[in-house]
Amino acid sequence: MTGAPLVVVEDLHRVFDVSKPWLERVFDGTPRQTLTAVAGVSFTIGKRETFALVGESGSGKSTVAKVVVGLLPPSAGTVTIDGISMSDAGQARERRALQRRIQMIFQDPYASLNPRWRADRIIAEPLRAHGLMTDDRQIDDRVGDLLRTVRLDPADGGKYPHEFSGGQRQRIAIARALAANPEFIVCDEPTSALDVSVQAQILNLMRDLQDELGLTYLLISHNLAVVRHMATRIGVLYLGRLVEVAPPSELFARPRHPYTRMLLDAVPDLLTTGRERRPIEGEIPSPIDPPPGCTFHPRCPFANDRCRVESPAPVDFGLSKVACHGVEEGRI
């Protein structure tokens, strides 16, 4: 990391109202219900860094991504990108200019491209939307360049999304994200819908583009191997809380939080076939009614009385940041 971080997320909370309709609540006599998707998440991303968030379904990783790009307002806490707040009403004008510099790539390239538009129109959309270019010739040239950047043929611009394979579609989604010359790209499970050989192509492309264009990534994934391969730092999410943040070398060599350890243990290893895995006990609890204290305590073999009542705060351990009473007290 060099200089000031590009993205600063501080004590981010996001709560969803999942109550039944008013009338039903009156009849059943049930109270309002809320789902806490993100609870007190803080992290920073330096320029040209790839910060990854990993977690299982329901851990809140996609919600963090949406709040960071401004698709969802935070319930509490702040997201600041290059000094500009994503929620402060006073900075609305600055935010409009900032929006161009932030782009997003989604999981499903079948859903994120308009099936009725040709590829060149899809890729040119950010140029037109942000008013960056108006001259059609200029736009055509830029789209051709972008297609080449993502290793497609400029002649492919005339085709519709259904004429491309899944990997090619994801390249088009990347070309669209690059159109407005962004600095920061949020990638939400960019390769989860792809086959492994295609995934390798897309991951390599993402790395090359980062080097060529100086991009900063926030990578959301459930795949620990992908994250290890791509990230400069990794945050492990559990029930909307960051339990551990560390660089990959540290996280995979010395996982500290019991959840991180279990997660690493659960990943199948290609080389030690026949090894018995120690499966994680139980499943992730409902975020509507999370356990008190440390939310991991019902599944944690090291939990004690303190863990059951007091929520742990993140503490620095060398290169890692860990939120665990056991690690803090030195008993794990």
Partner 1 sequence: MTRSKEPILSVRNLRVEFPTRRATLVAVDDLSFDIAAGEVLGVVGESGAGKSVTGAAIIRLLEPPGRIAGGEVRLAGQRIDDLALPQLRAIRGRRIGMVFQDPLTSLNPVFRVGEQLVETILQHLDMTDAQARARSIELLAEVGIPAPNERIDAYPHQLSGGMRQRVVLALALSTNPELLIADEPTTALDVSVQAQIITLMKGLCRRHGTAVMLITHDMGVIAEMADRVMVMYAGRMAEIGPVRDVLRAPRHPYTRGLMGSIPSLTGTATRLAQIPGSMPRLTAIPKGCAFNPRCAEVFARCREARPEPIPVGSGAAACWLYAPATQERTP
Among 23, 89, 155, 271, binds partner 1 (CB under 8 A): 271
Binders of partner 1 in range 76-135 (CB under 8 A)? none
Minimum Å gap between C-beta 283 and partner 1 is 5
Q: Which listed range, 5-13, 104-112, 263-271, 319-327, lies at the site for partner 1 (CB under 8 A)?
A: 263-271
SS3 314: coil
Q: Is 160 in the site for partner 1 (CB under 8 A)?
A: no
Q: Is 279 in the site for partner 1 (CB under 8 A)?
A: yes
Q: Is 30 in the site for partner 1 (CB under 8 A)?
A: no
Q: Is 284 in the site for partner 1 (CB under 8 A)?
A: yes
Minimum Å gap between C-beta 196 and partner 1 is 5
Unique residue bearing structure tokens 């977690």? 55
SS3 286: coil
Q: Which C-beta is closer to partner 1: that of 87 or that of 223?
A: 223
- Total residues binding partner 1 (CB under 8 A): 44
Q: Which C-beta is closer to partner 1: that of 56 or that of 108?
A: 56
Query: What DSSP designation does 39 have?
Result: E
Minimum Å gap between C-beta 285 and partner 1 is 10
Minimum Å gap between C-beta 69 and partner 1 is 25
Minimum Å gap between C-beta 322 and partner 1 is 19
Of 308, 332, 313, 331, the closest CA to residue 323 belongs to 313
Structure tokens at 124: 């040119």
Minimum Å gap between C-beta 184 and partner 1 is 22
d(CA 16, CA 257): 27
Q: Which listed range, 30-38, 72-80, 108-116, 273-281, lies at the site for partner 1 (CB under 8 A)?
A: 273-281
Helix (H) or strand (E) holding 8: strand 7-17
Binders of partner 1 in range 214-243 (CB under 8 A)? 222-226, 228-229
Structure tokens at 173: 């989604």
For the chain, state the CA radius of gyration: 22
Return all residues near 154 (Cβ < 8 A) that are at least 6 apart: 143, 144, 147, 148
Angle of CA points 10, 226, 107, to nearest 5°: 75
Q: Are 79 and 9 in contact (CB under 8 A)?
A: yes
Q: Which listed range, 22-30, 34-42, 126-134, 271-279, lies at the site for partner 1 (CB under 8 A)?
A: 271-279
Give exposure, 2-18, as e/b (b: 16+ Cβ within 10 Å).
eeebbbbbeebbbbbee
Among 130, 207, 254, 261, binds partner 1 (CB under 8 A): 207
Strands 50-54 and 216-221: parallel
**Rule CB under 8 A: which residues touch partner 1?**
56-57, 165-168, 195-201, 203-204, 207, 222-226, 228-229, 252, 262-277, 279-280, 283-284
